[in-house]
């Protein structure tokens, strides 16, 4: 049994057929799915899916792309919404300097607010970082100095050095379908050497469908394809990788238990 540690079940491409998407995931051996929030307007819908489906859990957070539109979402608001029993994580949050859809200072302020919420609640932080390794790491380190907090670097595409630094802070690394792409040689090299006890797998669906599903909306069932590729890449059995990543998820997302 596998766990999709990061998906967007309420996004266009999945929401129109959500019940069948969930059934296909279950048929593919997906035990649990973590439904990720990216803006305040979707918090209720993301949570409603988790309330309705016992194998789906929810997060609350503001994606860095949305930081400019959510200056009112502070630590207290995140902590308040995270009190619901089906909310098990804070995020996704982080920094994205590739698109710069939000002001960088606003992204950083939002990121720190999420970290504080993670620290206050004990819930894991789900971090998005793109073209912002230096600032992401600097903020993570600075905030860790104020008190420890758990977390995961989701949809990992950063450098091997960043992975090592994040793991030194206690973070987990989550691998998406990007690892199956022919162009992802650097990512494959890093994924092959990551410690098995720090590894998670995800789809980030409806985005980034793995081989052999390229060109289609991604869905949680496809995490099985990513896991099989990753197991072969690492010289492990799919059973070994599935058991380890599922155990890692439950260790990190303790509220699921």
| Count of domains for the chain | 1
Work out the average pLDDT over 160-181: 98
> What percentage of the chain reaches a pLDDT higher than 90?
100
pLDDT at 257: 85
Q: Is the pLDDT of residue 97 over 90?
A: yes
Task: Share the mean pLDDT of the chain.
Answer: 98
- What would the DSSP string read from start to end of 5-24? EEE-TTSTTTGGGHHHHHHH
* Phi, psi angles (nearest 5°) of residue 245: -65, -35
> 50-94: per-residue pLDDT in tens?
999 999 999 999 999 999 999 999 999 999 999 999 999 999 999
Confidence of residue 240 (pLDDT cuts 50, 70, 90): very high
> 6-43: per-residue pLDDT in tens?
999 999 999 999 999 999 999 999 999 999 999 999 99
Q: Is the pLDDT of residue 127 over 90?
A: yes
Q: Is the pLDDT of residue 242 over 90?
A: yes
Query: Mind spelling out the 3-state secondary structure of 94-152?
Result: EEECCCCCCCHHHHHHHHHHHHHHHHHHCCCEEEEEECCHHHHHHHHHHHHCCCCCCEE
Query: For residues 113 and 131, what is the distance between their CA atoms, to the nearest angstrom?
Result: 21
pTM here is 0.97
* Phi, psi angles (nearest 5°) of residue 9: -70, -15
Residue 219 structure tokens: 């869905």
> What is the domain-level CATH number for residue 107?
3.20.20.140
Whether the CB-CB separation of 249 and 223 falls below 8 Å is answered with no
Domain that includes residue 107, residue range: 2-256
Q: 237: left (phi > 0), else alpha (psi -120 to 50), else beta? A: beta
Strands 56-60 and 87-96, bridge-based pairing: parallel
* Phi, psi angles (nearest 5°) of residue 168: -60, -30
pLDDT at 201: 98
DSSP one-letter code for 31? E
pLDDT at 223: 98
Residue 214 structure tokens: 């390229």
Closest to 39 in 3D by CA, of 110, 109, 129, 121: 110
């Amino acid at each position: 049994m596998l766990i999709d540690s990061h998906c967007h079940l309420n996004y266009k491409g999945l929401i129109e057929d959500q019940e069948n998407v969930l059934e296909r995931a279950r048929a593919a051996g997906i035990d649990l799915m973590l439904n990720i929030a990216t803006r305040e307007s979707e918090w209720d819908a993301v949570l409603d899916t988790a309330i309705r489906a016992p194998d789906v859990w929810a997060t609350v957070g503001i994606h860095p792309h949305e930081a400019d539109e959510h200056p009112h979402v502070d630590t207290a608001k995140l902590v308040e919404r995270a009190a619901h029993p089906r909310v098990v994580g804070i995020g996704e949050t982080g920094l994205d300097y590739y698109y710069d859809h939000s002001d960088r200072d606003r992204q950083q302020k939002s990121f720190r607010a999420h970290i504080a919420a993670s620290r206050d609640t004990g819930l894991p932080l789900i971090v998005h970082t793109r073209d912002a390794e230096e600032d992401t790491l600097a903020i993570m380190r600075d905030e860790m100095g104020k008190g420890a907090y758990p977390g995961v670097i989701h949809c990992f595409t950063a450098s091997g050095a960043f992975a090592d630094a994040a793991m030194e802070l206690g973070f987990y690394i989550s691998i998406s379908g990007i690892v199956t792409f022919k162009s992802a040689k650097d990512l494959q090299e890093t994924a092959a050497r990551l410690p098995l006890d720090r590894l998670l797998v995800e789809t980030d669906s409806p985005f980034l469908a793995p081989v052999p599903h390229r060109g289609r909306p991604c869905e949680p069932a496809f995490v099985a394809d990513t896991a099989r590729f990753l197991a072969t890449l690492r010289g492990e059995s799919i059973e070994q990788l599935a058991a380890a990543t599922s155990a890692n998820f439950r260790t990190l997302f303790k509220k699921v238990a």
